Structure 1
Amino acid sequence: MKTTIWLHSHFNLIELLRAEDVAGEFRIIGSYHSRKYPEALLADVYHIEPAGLSESDYVEWALEFVARHGVDVFVIGRKLAALAHADERFRALGCKLISACDGATHELLNNKVECYNTITDGLVPLPAYQVADDPEAFEQAVLALSATQPVVCFKPTESIFGFGFRIIETAENAPLLVGVPRELVTTFEGALEYVQRGESFDQQMVMEYLPGQETSVDCLSVDGKLIRAVVRGKNADGSRVLLDRPLFVEYARRLTEKFKLTSLYNVQFREKGDGSPVLLEINSRMSGGTNMSCMSGLTLPYWGIKLALGTASEAEIPHGRTGIRVAELRRAVVLP
């Protein structure tokens, strides 16, 4: 009997899972509230989710879906905290969640300020930052950091995909921002106007601008122990390079142990102007670029699922190759 795997995100991993699953152990279900992602249709079965559900209603719907379809493993990538809080209810149905942590830790890591404030004693290097809860505090934070940093930026403490990120340009630092996409750049006055555009003020993190290389570490761990990691750098042309960077792996190991992370997740770093890396964020889910890390020969989601099922040991898991340049290619496929 096949093991039923449910994906409600990260559909670009379906082909990689199939390629690794040479024994044909997995039956893959995909779901989303539209047909926005054609890759999802490559699943054995695809379902349209009900639209507009609250997080609590989505959890109830997901529990019913698991029971109805006999789901053995649910790889979560959305509504992380809400689903993780219901972990015991999923287990009672015989379903294992692929979740990096418990619900409370998902909530902590999703708030960049709370995450940074928890990282003490020089565990990993952090950028200079201040937190603003109102427009006056925002203005003061920008002025304070501008006294020591050549460029200051800001973003909401809770956001994804860089939403709300802006860089503050001045006459003095403008030469340092040549080549930066102009939609990300604003003035001090524009920044004040931007953060007050809504009905209420969203807490902001004001921090030093990090102009250097962005590096992601895609991780696989078990109960706070880092098992494997793939370090992925971003090139200017949009391609990625898989790197041999023990320092980044060590930082990921420390954070894994600190937050007792497990299964699949991603840690992002970025270099300061002097080339030294600092922590950008911990994503308590797989990154959108996990498929490119899998080009290392280490298909992270496959082994994450196998470890969760107890059908693989650490010794069986390959180490990823490095020194590889990878990119995503668009191609036509015949859909079922």
Structure 2
Amino acid sequence: MKSVNVYFNRWFSVAYHYMNLIRGNEDGMPFRIFATHPDINHMSLQGADVAEKEPALTGLPYVEFCVDFCRRHAIDIFIPRLHMLDISRHAHLFDEIGTKVLVCRDAELLESVMIKDKFYENVKAKGIMAIPDYHVVRSAEGFEAAYRDLAAKGHRVCFKPTDSEGGLGFRIIDNNRSPLQELLGYVTPLISFEEARRILAEARSFPDLMVMELLEGYEYSIDCLAGGEGRLLAAVPRRKAGGRLRLLERHAGFMELAAKVAETYRLPYNFNIQMKYNGETPKLLEINPRMSGGLHITCLSGINFPYLAVKSALGGEVPRMELQRDILAAHIEQPVIVTEKENSAAPDVVN
């Protein structure tokens, strides 16, 4: 059987696990994994059969690099992360060379999902889930007004850029923090209102910030797999359970929510919904139109999300699957040899 060639452009380190999950699929389908990254020693490349260094490009030139890579290596399936929106806008270039791209081809929808305030407005209009109280600000004066409004409503307040991934730029306003304790302890996301306002006031400009109520209850990450026409094929809610512990939980409410999101937005293949409780109400943090950073843990459910997305893209039949039992899981580091040197008297030392 001929191997299927799969390409990952610049991904997080956990792509190492996705590659091995695809390679170790339950159907015994043979795969050859290709990957690129600006750092040729990046951990994500250690799971690839073929790795190349990626150039520092943006926009159409970057897309053209990916198209050329796919052409040179006869790539069957391309799983993008970096510059996903540009790739979606030019998906027809991959169609022309016979490469299937695991990306939402509705570029307008994809952009709205990736820009948090735009998506919050969309969700609010459709009414399919609760969203936090928030304001989008572009000035220090706007920041102060937003903070005072949310605080007057009884909320603790946090903020982050509207266009960012994960925890980048996320800060919690805490006016009772101890700078000395923080200096001598762990790095935290805490910052006082006065310090945040001063920094913003001194800046000539800064990216749009979403200032919002801090959600302090349980946090869930719902990993989803969808087929065509808004059909949800699988959804597994994963709750942070302290430290590295994660509970894969049969949460009926979030299973229903995942089906509603799939039907409403028709995001294809893998996507992820992040929800967090404030009191008794779960509210939306964000939706990621890609595989999540913790998806390899969710796959301990027995549902091979990365492979099944590839199988679906190749036209294979993927049945509806459900989590059969609650599972408490965690992860540990795995040592991996990146390079080896022969006949070397001693390693190079940098002072």
Per the TM superposition, whether the score is higher than 0.5 is yes
Match of 1:218 among 211, 217, 223: 223
Distance of 1:195 and 1:301 partners within structure 2: 41
User: 2-side partners of 1:31 and 1:182: how far apart?
Assistant: 32
Match of 1:88 among 89, 92, 100: 92
**The residue matched to 1:30 in structure 2 has which SS?**
strand
Distance in 1 (CA, whole Å) between partners of 2:337 and 2:136 is: 50
Matches within 5 A, 1:47-66: 47-50=52-55, 52-66=56-70
Per the alignment, residue 129 of structure 1 pairs with 134
1:273-298 residue CA offsets vs partner (Å, 9 max, x unmatched): x1321010011111111111111100
The residue aligned with 1:250 is: 256
- Could you say which residue in structure 2 is the equivalent of 1:320? 323
Measure how far apart 1:333 and its partner are. Answer: 3.9
Provide the rounded CA distance (Å) in 2 between the counterparts of 1:281 and 1:26. Answer: 32
Q: What is the rounded CA distance, in whole Å, between the counterparts of 2:323 and 2:42 in structure 1?
A: 28
Aligned pair 1:227/2:213, yes or no? no
- CA 1:72–1:56 in structure 2 vs 1: closer, same or farther (change >3 Å)? same
Structure 1, residues 219-276: CA drift from partner, whole Å, max 9, x if none?
A: 100232211111111122122110111211222222222222111111100111x132
Distance 1:260 1:62 in 2: 25
Displacement, 1:199?
3.4
Q: 1:133 to 1:335 in 2, by over 3 A?
A: closer
User: Partner of 1:79 in structure 2?
Assistant: 83
1:142-157 correspondence to structure 2 within 5 Å: 142-157=147-162
**Structure 1 stretch displaced more, 24-33 or 56-65:** 24-33
Measure, in 2, the Cα distance between the counterparts of 1:150 and 1:68: 54
Q: TM-score, structure 2 length as denominator?
A: 0.87
- Aligned residue number for residue 288 of structure 1: 293
On the 8 A contact 1:30/1:41 being kept in 2, the answer is no
Q: How many Å separate the matches in 1 of 2:106 and 2:59?
A: 16
Contact 1:154–1:206 (8 Å) recurs in 2: yes
Q: Provide the rounded CA distance (Å) in 1 between the counterparts of 2:299 and 2:290.
A: 15
Gaps of 5+ in 2: 340-351
Structure 1 residues 72 and 81, CA gap change in structure 2 (3 angstroms)? same
Amino acid at match of 1:253: A
Q: Partners of 2:129 and 2:174 in 1: how far apart?
A: 28
Q: 1:202 aligns with which of 199, 207, 213?
A: 207
Partners in 1 of 2:202 and 2:231 — Cα distance? Answer: 43
2:112 to 108, 112, 128: 108
Q: Show the counterpart of 2:46.
A: 41
Once residues 105 and 199 of structure 1 are traced to their aligned partners in structure 2, the CA distance between those partners, rounded to angstroms, is 31
The equivalent position to 1:299 in structure 2, one of 287, 300, 304, is 304
TM-score (norm 1): 0.91
Report the Cα distance in structure 2 between the residues aligned to 1:318 and 1:25, rounded to whole angstroms. Answer: 23
What is the deviation of 1:216?
0.3
Q: CA shift at 1:92, angstroms?
A: 1.2
Corresponding residue of 2:5: 4
Q: 1:27 to 1:121 in 2, by over 3 A?
A: closer
Residue number in structure 2 paired with 1:29:
34
Q: Tell me by how many angstroms 1:196 deviates.
A: 4.1
The CA deviation at 1:12 is 2.2
Aligned in 2, Cα 1:335/1:163: closer, same or farther, shift over 3 Å? Answer: closer
Contact 2:6–2:75 (8 Å) recurs in 1: yes
In the TM superposition, residue 73 of structure 1 has moved relative to its aligned partner by 0.4
Tell me the CA shift for residue 97 of structure 1.
Answer: 0.5
Change in 2 beyond 3 A, CA 1:24/1:197: farther
What CA distance in whole angstroms lies between the structure 2 residues aligned with 1:335 and 1:203? 39
Q: Give the counterpart letter for 1:266 in structure 2.
A: N
* Aligned with residue 158 of structure 1, among 147, 156, 163: 163
Name the counterpart of 1:70. 74
Paired AA for residue 319 in structure 1: E
Q: What SS does the corresponding residue of 1:20 show, helix, strand or coil?
A: coil
> Residue 203 of structure 1 aligns to which amino acid in structure 2?
D
| Contact 1:32–1:47 (8 Å) recurs in 2 | yes
Task: Find the aligned partners of 1:140 and 1:222 in 2 and give their Cα distance.
Answer: 44
Structure 1: 5+ residue stretches without partners: none
Alpha carbons 1:129, 1:208 under 8 Å: kept: yes
- 2:345 corresponds to: none
State the partner residue of 2:347: none
Aligned to 2:268: 262
Aligned residues: 328
Q: Does residue 140 of structure 1 match 2:140?
A: no
Report the secondary structure of 1:286's partner residue: coil
Amino acid at match of 1:96: K
Q: Which residue does the alignment assign to 2:281?
A: 276
